[in-house]
Amino acid sequence: MTNLALSAFLILLLAAGFRRPFLWVLAYLYVDILQPQVISWGLLSRLPVSLICFVAAFLGWVLADDKRDSRGSFRQVLMALLLMYCGATTLAAQFPAEAAEKWAWVWKALVFAIFLPFTLRTRLRIEAVILVMALTAGAIVIGGAIKTLAGGGGYGSLRLFVDNNTGLYEGSILSCVAISLIPLIVWLARHGTIFPPDWRVSTFAAALIFACALIPVGTQARTGLVCLAVLCVLYLRTARRRVLIVALMAAAALIALPFLPASYTQRMSTIENAQSDQSASTRLAVWKWTLDYVRAHPFGGGFIVYKANELKFETVTADTAGSTTVIRAQEVQDSGRAFHSSYFEMLGEQGWPGLGLWLAIQLSGLVQMEILRRRWGQRDRVTAGGVESEGVDSEGGKSERHEGKHDNDGWQAPLAAALQLSQVVYLVGSLFVGIAFQPFILMLVGVQCGLWTYLKRSRPNAASRISQRRSPRAGSAAASRSAGGPPTRSGAFTPH
Closest CA to 457 of 382, 383, 372, 336: 372
Q: Which stretch binds another protein (CB under 8 A): 165-173, 248-256, 376-384, 486-494?
A: 486-494
Q: Which stretch binds another protein (CB under 8 A): 6-14, 45-53, 243-251, 382-390?
A: 6-14
| Residues within window 396-415 making contact with another protein, judged by CB under 8 A | 404-405
C-beta separation of 359 from 436 below 8 A: no
C-beta separation of 71 from 457 below 8 A: yes
Q: Where are the beta strands (DSSP E) in 157-267?
A: none
List the Cα angle 161/162/166 in 5-degree steps.
Answer: 120
In this complex, which beta carbon is closest to another protein, that of residue 140 or of residue 226?
140
Minimum distance, C-beta of residue 231 to another protein, in the bound complex (Å): 22
DSSP helix/strand/coil, 333: strand
| Residues within window 260-279 making contact with another protein, judged by CB under 8 A | none
Site string for another protein, 354-393 (x = CB under 8 A): ----------------------------------------
| 313 contacts another protein (rule: CB under 8 A) | no
| Residues within window 20-39 making contact with another protein, judged by CB under 8 A | 20-23, 26, 30, 39
Contacts of 426 (CB under 8 A, 6+ apart): 176, 177, 180, 435, 441, 444
Minimum distance, C-beta of residue 219 to another protein, in the bound complex (Å): 15
**Considering only residues 43, 52, 65, 279, which one is a binding residue for another protein as defined by CB under 8 A?**
65
Separation of alpha carbons 340 and 434, rounded Å: 5
What angle separates helix 242-256 from helix 222-238, to the nearest 10 degrees? 160
Minimum distance, C-beta of residue 201 to another protein, in the bound complex (Å): 10
| 5 contacts another protein (rule: CB under 8 A) | yes
Separation of alpha carbons 186 and 176, rounded Å: 17
C-beta separation of 168 from 433 below 8 A: no
Contacts of 51 (CB under 8 A, 6+ apart): none
Beta bridge mates, 335:
310
Using the CB atoms, write b or e for 459-493: b if 16+ within 10 Å.
ebeeebeebbeeeeeebbbbbbbbbbbebeeeeeb
Amino acid at 288: K
| 55 contacts another protein (rule: CB under 8 A) | no
In this complex, which beta carbon is closest to another protein, that of residue 102 or of residue 123?
123
**Considering only residues 71, 147, 297, 337, which one is a binding residue for another protein as defined by CB under 8 A?**
147
Separation of alpha carbons 360 and 358, rounded Å: 5
Closest CA to 140 of 440, 361, 402: 440
Minimum distance, C-beta of residue 56 to another protein, in the bound complex (Å): 12
| 165 contacts another protein (rule: CB under 8 A) | no
| 19 contacts another protein (rule: CB under 8 A) | yes
Site string for another protein, 193-232 (x = CB under 8 A): -xx--------x----------------------------
Tell me which DSSP letter residue 448 carries. H
C-beta separation of 281 from 337 below 8 A: no
| Residues within window 107-146 making contact with another protein, judged by CB under 8 A | 121-125, 128, 131-132, 135-136, 138-140, 142-143, 146
| 433 contacts another protein (rule: CB under 8 A) | no
Contacts to another protein by CB under 8 A = 1-2, 5-6, 9, 12-13, 16-23, 26, 30, 39, 60, 63-66, 68, 121-125, 128, 131-132, 135-136, 138-140, 142-143, 146-147, 150, 161, 194-195, 204, 404-405, 485-488, 494
